[in-house]
Structure 1
């Protein structure tokens, strides 16, 4: 019974942490079925995302500090989208007023929703990281990971080398989380993979709902290639790094 209660506690707080991404999924689904005259679908999604973000802060489901992290990821995601779309990695085929170089502005919110989930889960489950590696090494590897997203079309893709380095750098690092006053731990690299895997599932749902489109999905929808899990794995690592660094800076300012 104890473990069942803890499991239900975990599921509840995971669900609460997913309010932002789930709301985006619902918006994608609704906009797929209901068309608003004179308002392109992508513009409707952007307006909905802005409202969702406003509601999250207004209702105190998100704090201002969490909003800052989410904003950073909105910019990181938007820059990546601008590059990837313009080299043909994927596309947004529908018309919209709020598109820049082929990228609708709502796309940044999809990255922001990942940061929202992680901030929420961090707070709700009282996450603590132990044996965190040297900060300079973490930041150096994080920068290389992000740069590799841009250079892997003109230079060799070194994602597997980076994943290997991640396992070496974080081999001792554990993430502690609390379920009803009971503390559990897991290797932080396992949490990277699990979050990346579920984002890949969400990506399949998103492409099915027409959020964006890969070249092989132009004629009919197909499953997103499994290799994308590694991309999300690496993006989750960057998210973890930024959130942990911002929390570290905040703690230093308070001491």
Structure 2
């Protein structure tokens, strides 16, 4: 199984001292699985949730006449959150590499998209490249942080996962289309169909506590994209950035953006797959069969801690 960080390992051990005494079946068992699922999801979202909380707090309470521009404050806060994540062993150095890659990929897209007017930021502060404040890249890093954390927290395994070189070509085409559709034909609907064809047979196997579960990977993409869309609505309401239609007054982000976020999930999964190679269910007592060799319920994960 994929390993926890040392901090997560200690949390896991303490949790098991309570959870192992819980009933193994019945309604209480199902409620327990649901509660653990929610807690794990919250833990996986810790970077993004912290960043979104700072953005919202800055919208509500940051003084307009402060010496430090709000965008610069957000950038410094994002850097501080990332440093704390590594210093407190909530992320490993290995995971940090893919998060930095998300940051770079996102920043390049931000520079292009703001230049063509897809969305805008307040032109303030010094910590920016052109009109793009540096905190914007951390919003993509938050997606990367969630992806790498959820991989090990739920011990994700994949049945019928497509060949990685095929997914890499698809991800590159999706990323290119975010740029090229401004000048040539928008291929997003063809790319969306390609995602369904390539990933349609793939099932994601995951473990919450005792029981293994499975879900079509395409459905998982859609659910994560939906939650990102909800977070995007909070961020735009907070004024972190605005779409052209929101300049005269905020309104909810168009549901069309769900397609963009759905396609972005493909890029995210492909990037993370180069850190955690997708494995099929049933290997090493993983999420495939629900039991260890001794026939007992395994730990939430039972791998040694990364340090």
Same fold (TM over 0.5): yes
> Which residue does the alignment assign to 2:260?
231
> Which residue does the alignment assign to 2:151?
122
Query: Could you tell me whether the CA contact under 8 Å between 2:56 and 2:234 is conserved in 1?
Result: no
> Which residue does the alignment assign to 1:106?
135
Partners of 2:92 and 2:113 lie apart in 1 by: 31
CA RMSD of aligned residues (A): 1.2
Query: Could you tell me whether the CA contact under 8 Å between 2:206 and 2:213 is conserved in 1?
Result: yes
Q: Secondary structure at the match of 1:247?
A: coil
Partners of 2:53 and 2:170 lie apart in 1 by: 35
Partners of 1:136 and 1:29 lie apart in 2 by: 39
Q: How many residues align?
A: 249
Q: TM-score, normalised by structure 2?
A: 0.79
How far the C-alpha of 1:189 sits from its partner, in A, is 0.6
> Which residue does the alignment assign to 1:8?
35
Greater C-alpha radius of gyration? 2
Which residue among 64, 74, 87 is the counterpart of 2:93? 64
Q: Give per-residue Cα distances to partners, 1:21-66, cap 9 Å, x unaligned.
A: 1111111122122227210000000000000001111111111111
In the alignment, structure 2 segments of 5+ residues that lack a partner are 1-27, 279-307
Say which structure, 1 or 2, has more relative contact order (CA 8 Å, 6+ apart).
2
Query: Could you tell me whether the CA contact under 8 Å between 2:162 and 2:202 is conserved in 1?
Result: yes
Residues 149-160 of structure 1: pairs in structure 2 closer than 5 A: 149-160=178-189
Partners of 2:32 and 2:238 lie apart in 1 by: 35
Q: Which runs of 4+ in 1 moved over 6 A?
A: none
More helix by share: 1
> Which residue does the alignment assign to 2:198?
169
Query: Could you tell me whether the CA contact under 8 Å between 2:192 and 2:263 is conserved in 1?
Result: yes
How far the C-alpha of 1:114 sits from its partner, in A, is 0.7
Q: TM-score, normalised by structure 1?
A: 0.95
